[in-house]
Every structure is written in structure tokens, then in C-alpha cells.
Chains A and B, each alone.
Chain A
Amino acid sequence: MSKQTAPDCNGAHAAGTYGRPGACHGLRVPALACVTLMLGWMPAKAAGNEVLGRHLSAECTACHQLSGQSVGGIPPIIGWPEDQFAAVLASYGRKERGGQVMQAITAKLSPDDMTALAAYFGAVSPKP
């Protein structure tokens, strides 16, 4: 994982970053523990509402390319495991992951919203 996209996962304010989920090398609390904790209240295989997911996805595609292409400053978000996608969004929502944009984006997303987004983007395949 490049340093460029790694967020500050220690709770310190990494103001300039979107942060790349899963890139938490410097964690005090390992990322896996975060995910495991999340799974306690979230289904292992998210069953997100497809229509809701498509609706909400429009907000994401202003910055994240649906093609999966990445220019470097903003990570691709398609084809992820759904549970991990939802867990990462939730960690932004709790401001455990640094990144002003993603913290603001997730501030008003409900768990259902997050699982819907996870299902929507999880089902998108990268363009060849």
C-alpha cells in the first residue's frame, strides 16, 4: 500500500486524505479487530437494498470512478467484499478513520445505507 493513500488510522486528523480503507499499517488497534467488531452487529454477507445502493452511489461517483480506474489520490471502491466495505464506511462514520471528505460523507449514512452501498459497489466489475 502506498504511503500516498494511507490514512492516519490512529485517530489523528489526517486532514488532506480520503484515506484508503484497509491501509492502516500504523494502527494501534489492528484493522482486523475493527472489522471483527463491526461484524458483531452487521451481517457477514451484507444484503443491501439494490435500489437504495444505486441511489446513494451517485454521491460516491463524483470522486470514485465506477470503472475502477484510479488516478492515485482517490482509491477505487468497486468489487470489494461487502462486509469489509460496510465496515470501512462505518469506521469513517465514527471518525476512527482520518479523512475530512469521507467523514463528512458518512456522517449521515445509516447502517442500511452502508450495506446498500457495499452491495452496489461490490457487484460492479472493473472495466478491462
Chain B
Amino acid sequence: MTPTRRDLVAASGAVLAAATLGMPAVLGQAKARVVVVGGGPGGATAAKYIARDGGGRIAVTLVEEHEVYQSCFHSNLYIGGFKSYEQLLHRYDALTAAYGITLARQRAARIERDRKNVVLADGTRLPYDRLVLSPGIDLKYDSVPGWSQDAEEIMPHGWKPGRQTLLIREKLDAVPDGGTIVMIAPPNPYRCPPGPYERASMFAHVLKSTGRTKARVVILDPKDSFSKQGVFMPDWEKRYGTMIEWLGPRVHDGIKSVDPAKGTVVTGFETYENCAFVNVIPAQMAGAVAREAGLAPAGGYCAIDPATMKSTVDPAVFVLGDACIAGDMPKSAFSANNQAKVAAMVACSELAGEPAFPARYFNTCWSLVAPDDAIKVGGRYEPRDGRIAATETFISQPGESDEVRRQTQAENLAWYEAISADIFT
């Protein structure tokens, strides 16, 4: 992993070449300019590490319209009653104070890639030498027949934080004993692969612990299999008996439609009427600002160079986190934070002459199944054959001891505190 002299020479050469070619006119100006769009785990981490490691030669502006970041990761723990909503909130004050990052509290309306400007909602143009896009996901509101943005209050998705997360908990609290919750799981690729199944676990936990043991959770999945399925399903049976039922497409034969007004879900196999609550988690795509910049020409997500996290369409733009196509890496906060560090290293090398190292990636996703019972999946990744490929992977096993599961949950909680500090302080 140690950089060879050749790596370092190559990195220096890249800077020289860039300056000579006048691509980013970075070495001649007072400070290189990096604009980061999106203040989540990808964007905020990139802003911090570029500002910290750029040797004072890079001016970083973080474009984020919200004053407070609400983490989607661990929002299932709020739904399950294991965290307060306040524990999911993070401010940007420490980033701006400690690293000199300029915070532009606006929405990024669009990118002018030809002129290298980010245009803010009020028309202000922010010029950049390098742009970091980490806009997260947008929902495909037309991916479930009968469902729409107008219906998201009645049949909430809870896949973006804030009001939607709170709604999920409110609707869960209102489920009567004997009621049926139907969750429509999303197709790949989507934010937080184990997330729907952790959420179903939290539904069952809340129902069981409040004496509503006759209620049930039906997961209608467009996928034949899902993340950590081999661990989730035996755990569900052990913890919740028959409360959670998972049906793949071979059984339900397709999700034909939903009727928000009546609380109905129609599949090819059967119809669920008078559902206590329907949780529609739709198909997803990269945030609009990345798609509208022409960085996701096919499939809704942005292709990147696995060695640099740069867009394959535009080498002046990094795309991080849920919005990018990261090969074997899942769309997770851990991944976004990790990818941001690769992008920051590359940006600091190109713009400030800092040393470059080979890209290395890591991710772990923890999921809580029941109190003190968490499972995990993760791995190490490297650029290989034009994609980010897994080199080592690990996953929890069915039948692990209570002590192992308790320790896994302790890790999960400790990880949240550490990564929050890594991103926001």
C-alpha cells in the first residue's frame, strides 16, 4: 500500500501536466477552488478533508441548503425507539469554524460544466477548479403504479430524512393489533441495501413490545434476494415468529398497483385491503443536480473512475455516495464517507501538489434486528477492471451467540458516533 516513488512522480506529473495544459489553472492562482454540492456523509467529508489536507492552497465552499443535517442512517433506530430524533441531527458549525470551509446555505440549482460554475438558487455563480457532487438520491415517484409524490404523506417512503421519517413512526404507532403493514421494497440499486429489512425488524419490534402481537409486516420485494437475507430471515423467525413475511417476485408475481385512498396493494398473487399502513420505498436515482448536469447518461446514476471517484463524463467533477455507481460498494453513509476521502486525496494532489496514494475502499453496514441483536456485512474494495471491486468481504452468520450480536450492536452505536465526528467535526 506504500506509494512507490513512481506513484508519487506520476502524481506530480499529473499536476504539472494539468497546469501546463491550462485545464485547471490551479497552480498559478492564489487558491484553487473546490465547490462541494451536498452536505451529507460524502460531501461534508470531502469538504473537510480537502480543506484540511490541501495545505492551505484550496478554498472550499460547501453548498447545502439545510442548516441541520438529518441522518438517514440510523433513522431506523429512531423508528424502533432506540434513538431520539435529535440524535440524528448534525450541524455544520464545526466544519466552517475548524477548517475555514465556506458554507453556501442554498440549493444548487444547476451546474454549468462548460464554464465550471455551480449556479445557486438565487442565481449566484460559484466558479470551481474541481467540483464534488454528493447530492444523494431522488425517488422515482412513477415506479410504483398508483403511487406518486402526492401520495407520499398517506403511503410514506421514509427514504429521505425529516418529515418522512417522523411519518413512518407516527403511522407505525397507529397500527392496531391485528393490522397489516405492507412494505414495498425497492429494486436495486438503492440507498442502504439492508435498510428495508432492518426497518421491517423495527416495525415488528415496536409492535411486539407494545403488545400488538397479532399485527404483521408483509414485505413485497421486486428482488429475488436481499442483503443479509440468510441472517435476517432466521432471526425474524426467532425474534418475531410469523410477524414478518417476505415475498419475492416469484410468489407475489409483481406489484400491480397501490390505491392510497383505500390503503390497498394489488399484486399478481393477492390483494391487501385496508392495510394499516403502506410503506412504499420506490426505485431511486442520483439527485437531480447530477443527472441534469449530464453525468448520469444511462440508468439514473453517475459512472465514476474507480481510481479517483471522478465522473467518467467530466474529469473536473467527482461524484460520491448514493449518486454514483460504485461497483461492489453499497450505497451507504460509510461508503460515501470512504469515497470522499479518495476524492479528497486526488483533489489535494492535483490542486495542491499533495502526495497521491492508490485508492482503497472499505464499508460496513450494521443492521439492528432486535434489542441488542445486530448483524453486519462489509468488505474491502479496490479499483479493478474499471470498477470498484470487493477484495475481502465478511457477513454475520445465522445462529451467532447473543454476546456476538450484542457486541455487533455496540459497534454499530460506536460507529455512528465516530463517523458523525469524522464527517462533521
Contacts and interface: CB of A to CB of B under 8 A. Distances in A.
Interface of A: 4-5, 14-18, 49, 51-52, 54-56, 58-59, 61-67, 69-74, 100-101, 103-105, 107-110, 112-113, 116
Contact of B410 (A14, A54, A56, A72): A72
B180 interface: no
Given A63-B418, A71-B417, A112-B1, 15 more contacts: A4-B410, A16-B405, A18-B411, A61-B421, A62-B334, A62-B337, A65-B417, A73-B412, A100-B394, A101-B364, A101-B376, A104-B379, A104-B393, A108-B1, A113-B1
B380 A105 contact: yes
A65 B424 CA distance: 12
Contact residues of A: prevailing secondary structure = loop
Interface string B215-239: 0000000000000000000000000
Contacts of B355: 51, 55
Contact of A110 (B2, B362, B410): B2
Given A62-B422, A74-B414, A104-B380, A113 B2 contact: yes
Interface stretch (B261-269, B281-289, B395-403): B395-403
Given A4-B410, A62-B337, A108-B1, A103 B394 contact: yes
Nearest to A14: B404
Interface of B: 1-3, 49, 53, 334, 337-338, 341, 345, 355, 357, 360, 362, 364, 376, 378-380, 382, 391-394, 396-397, 400, 403-415, 417-419, 421-422
Contacts of B413: 71-73
B378 A100 contact: yes
Given A55-B345, A62-B337, A104-B379, A17 B391 contact: no
Given A4-B407, A16-B411, A73-B409, A110 B418 contact: no
Contacts of B408: 15-17
Nearest to B374: A16
Contact of A64 (B360, B394, B412, B418): B418
Nearest to A65: B418
Nearest to A114: B1
B402 to A, nearest CB: 10
A40 B345 CA distance: 34
Contacts of A59: 338, 341, 360, 362
B410 A73 contact: yes
A107 B380 contact: yes
A101 B357 CA distance: 22
Contacts of B337: 62
Contacts of B417: 65, 69, 71
A49 B419 contact: no
